[in-house]
Every structure is written in C-alpha cells, then in structure tokens.
A and B are shown apart, each in its own frame.
Chain A
Amino acid sequence: MKAVGAFAWSVVQDALHRKVFYAILAFGLVLMLLTPLLPSAEVGVQVDLMREAALGLTSIMAFVLAVILGSTIIPGERERRTIYNTLSKPVHRWQYYLGKYIGIVMIVASALALTFLVLVLFVLIKFGFFNPGLAKALLAILFESCILISIAMLVSIYYSPVICILLTGLFYVLCHVKGDFLYRGMTEAGYNPLVKALSGVFYYLLPNLERFNINETIAHGERVFEVGAVELLLLFAIAAAFSAIFIYLGSYLFSRRDL
C-alpha cells in the first residue's frame, strides 16, 4: 500500500503545480460568491435560489475537475515519458493505476471540502443560520465524481485526452438521461428493435447518475424529502460498485498496455 500512497500523493503534488486546478477552483468559487446578484426575491426564496445555483456550479466544477484530471494524468505521464522511470521500479501497474485514481479523488474531495466551507460561511454570514446539510449534496457530487474519474481513466488508457474528455462527457449525459430517455427507448412500442435492444443494454449497464443529483432537495432545505443516512449509504454503495468495476477493468487493460 506504500506504493499506492506514494502514487496518490504524487497526483496531489502534480495538481498543486497545475494552473488549471487553481483556475477551475477559483472560477467555481467566484461564481458561487456572485450568486447573491441573482434577482432579488423573498428571503426564504433567495436562500433556496442561492443554494441551488451554488450547488449546480459546484457540480459543474467537480465534473470538470474529475474529467480533466482523469483524462490527462496517465496520457500526460506517457507523453512526458516520466512513466518509464516510475514503472521500471519494483511496483505493479495496478498499484500505479489505483494510486492515481485515489489521488484524483483526494483532489476533488479537497476542492469540495473547500467549497463546503465557503458555502456554509456564506450562508451563515448572509442569512444568519448554520447549514451543514449542504454536505449531503457535496457528498453525492463526490460519489458521482468517483464514477466519472474511474471511467475517464479507463478511456484514457487508449485514447488521447481530447477524445477521452468527449467520451466521458457522453457517458455523463447518457447516465443522466438513462432513467427517462433510455427507459422509454427500451419499453415504448414503435421503436426500431435495434434501438430498443441498444437502449436496453445501455439502460442496464450504465449507472443512473441522476440519482446522485440531490441538489434541488438540499437547496430547498429538504422540506419535501429528507436525505437520510440510508440514501447516502446507497449512493456510496452504487458509486463504490461502479468505480470498482471500472478500476478493475482499467488496471487490467493498463497492465497489458505497451508504454
């Protein structure tokens, strides 16, 4: 596990030296701080609007971080040839792969933790109440990011960062619309049998990422539906299961890849 830890830490160090990391983080935080400029409304509605916008922006920031880091870490090391020095050491490729994954998750988690602090402080100062419930939405965003990172890394084994970002984006969209779009394609009469079959395959293979979108519920103070520990555990289990499958597949393919 020492090697996995060293690889994970190397990702964090690397990210801290990348300007893009700070740019994404700064962009997200600035946008969130600008949310009070939203059209004025009653105090209760204003806080809901502010939280919804902030959580939406946080989702985008986490998506961008996860996809960019997941798509570029391995191809970048291959292109810079630093991977030769690393993998000629007495380490297994799965340790490298898992370490890099954990490192990216650590970066996204740190960015989300920072966002949480900013949001909670902002709500406290502006609206005068402590709102730790925001952490639930941020946890769900982190779980979703874990799946996205694992799929981006898997694709990055064979494809360039640009193609990888596009494919991961497509995966993200498909997984968000599957509950509606793919379900209808699979079940409703009148569709071509091939479309029905493909919709069915994707429906059962892909994770339902829309399940992780609890921003609206949290933004409205969980007045309609409360997100409890069971729901969060279920989200964690889904993320862990899909991430594990993609990481296993990725490390297997990576171990067979010529460098």
Chain B
Amino acid sequence: MESVLNIEDLYKDYKGGWRKPPRTALAGLNLEVPRGKAVGLLGPNGAGKTTTLKCIMGLIRPKAGKIRLFGAENAGAEARRAVGFLPEQPYFDLYLTPRKLLAYYGRLISIQPENLNTRISYVLNLVGMGEESDLAMEKYSKGMLQRIGLAQALLSEPEFLVLDEPSSGLDPMGKLQVRDLLEGLKREGTTILLSSHQLSDIEEICDGIAIIHKGRNVASGGLDELLRSRDEYEITLEKPLQEYPEVLPDSASWTDSMHTRLQVDKVDLNQALKVLAERGAAISAVRQRRMTLEEYFLDQVGDRGWEVRG
C-alpha cells in the first residue's frame, strides 16, 4: 500500500547548555503511515512523539535519518501544502478573531480570495465555532482555542492530518465531537497521524499504532493484529454456574464479578471447556481475547514509562 509518510532511522539530539545535559529525543525511529489510514502515535511523556511530529513538519531538523512525505525526501513547503498540522496546545495572537486568523492562514496557504470566506465558515462550523467566529480569541476557553487549532489544520482540505493531542482541553462532549469529526474525515479518505494520550480515541479512530519509548519503536502494526497477538481466549457463559468448578486450569481466571466470562490460555482452552461442560455450563461464545489498547500499551511500556525524566 502506498505510504503518505515514511520515516527511517530518525535521530534527534537536543544540545545541552550550561548545567543542562544534552538529551537524545529520537534514537532510530521508524514509522510508516499508509494512505487513507489513521495511525496512532503512543508513548509516555518525553518519549519523542512531539519531536517526531515537529521533524515531519520541518520545524526541527533531525540529526540523521530519512523522512519521506508523499514520496519526496526532505519535503519542503510544497509537500506541506497537502498537510494539516495541529500542534500540542495551539497558540494564537489572541487579539484576532478566528475569522481574521483563518484569513491570514488562508493567504499563506494560497486559498483563492473568492473561496476563502466560504472555506473559513465551513471549517468553523465543522469544529462547532461558527457562532463565536467574530469574537476576539482572548475571551476564549482552552477548549475553544483547541477547536480553532483544529479549524486551522483543516483549512487547506489536507490529504494528511498530523495532530498532536487534538482532544486536549476539550470537555467530554467536545472530545466526542472531535472523535466523530476525525472518523468522518477518515471515511472520506484523509490520512491521519494522531499523537494522543487518549487511548480510547486512538482505539476508536486508528487502524494502526506505533508505540515509542525513549525515541525508539517499541511496537507498531495494525490494531487488530497487535491486540490479538496473545494466545488467550475468553469463554462467555449464558448465566453464572450454580456451583463453581475447583479444577479449572491454572491460566483460567474470571474477568467479571458475575463469573460469566472466563479468560484462559490457548493451551488450556479444551480442558476448561471440558470442565465447564461437565458442570452443565451453557456456553454462549468462545473467542480469541482482544486486549484493550491500555492493556497492550502498559504491557509494552509498563513501568519503563516511569523511567523517563523531563
């Protein structure tokens, strides 16, 4: 499948200063974002996510490695024409109204003047800010500014969206709206690279993930493939047993308080089914267990995440 973004062996060091040691932010990172797919970039604080996104957008220069954007290496301004970027906690000149701000960005993107107002109104309505668009942004809440950040990222009708914590500062309703918006864009064919600590969002929106830690890949691939990678099964009972079996395999454990879902390793599956059948259990389903993204993330990073220093 064609890739919109391909990163190979990316290295980035930040120079130290007086009483400030140098820091390696990226240490051989690899990442691929296929066209039309949504990929989640995960990692603990300080893992190198924001540095990766800044390298992609040309805001910082990597020490080594290759970044291919739409097939072009060292992509410059032209490649960014098809990219929309939302930085972490976007900042704006707050004396401006969203309309004036977007008009300024529109001129930088070279949107035709006759189409600019229509496009601005469209993206402001898309992010739910159509009604407040003529108020100076100094009166805005953090969540409202985040929505304006999304609006500016969408202004150029990008083929590829690079988003750093898009749900940051949003209320629960706002988070749902952003999730719906991104799902809609994905359905329309927009490629998305999403860095977020909201694992539920990533699980909902993304087709694949890349987990990074200390600037290196820890795991990457399709979500279904990664979350089903363990040889564990879940047996679901129609109703709880009258009498609990005492001879279940060692790997078996009930995952709910009602004792209707039993988790068991693949090697013990047949034995567990046999024991349950002997006790007269009504088995409604047996399926390969799918981990939650949170479980998978903690399994990959685990307490290693706490080793990170700011």
Contacts and interface: CB of A to CB of B under 8 A. Distances in A.
Interface of A: 2-3, 5-6, 10, 13-14, 17, 80-82, 84-92, 256, 258-259
Interface residues of B, number: 31
The dominant DSSP class at the B interface is: loop
B105 interface: yes
A74 B61 CA distance: 18
A81 B149 CA distance: 12
Indicate the member of A5, A10, A90 with the most B CB atoms within 10 Å: A90
B54 A259 contact: yes
B90 A259 contact: no
Interface stretch (B28-36, B74-82, B189-197): B74-82
Interface of B: 14, 54, 57-61, 76-78, 80-81, 83, 85, 87, 89-93, 95-96, 104-105, 107-110, 149, 152, 156
Contacts of B93: 14, 17, 80, 82
Contacts, number: 75
A89 B90 contact: no
A107 to B, nearest CB: 16
A17 B59 contact: no
Contact of B87 (A3, A81, A92): A81
A258 B61 contact: yes
A84 B90 contact: yes
21 contacts: A3-B110, A6-B104, A13-B96, A80-B91, A84-B54, A84-B59, A84-B85, A84-B90, A84-B91, A87-B58, A88-B57, A88-B59, A88-B83, A90-B77, A90-B110, A91-B77, A91-B108, A258-B60, A258-B61, A259-B54, A259-B59
A259 B77 contact: no
B90 A85 contact: yes
Contacts of A13: 96
Nearest to A84: B87
Given A14-B93, A90-B78, A85 B87 contact: yes
Given A82-B91, A89-B109, 7 more contacts: A3-B108, A80-B91, A85-B105, A85-B149, A86-B108, A88-B80, A90-B108
A88 B107 contact: no
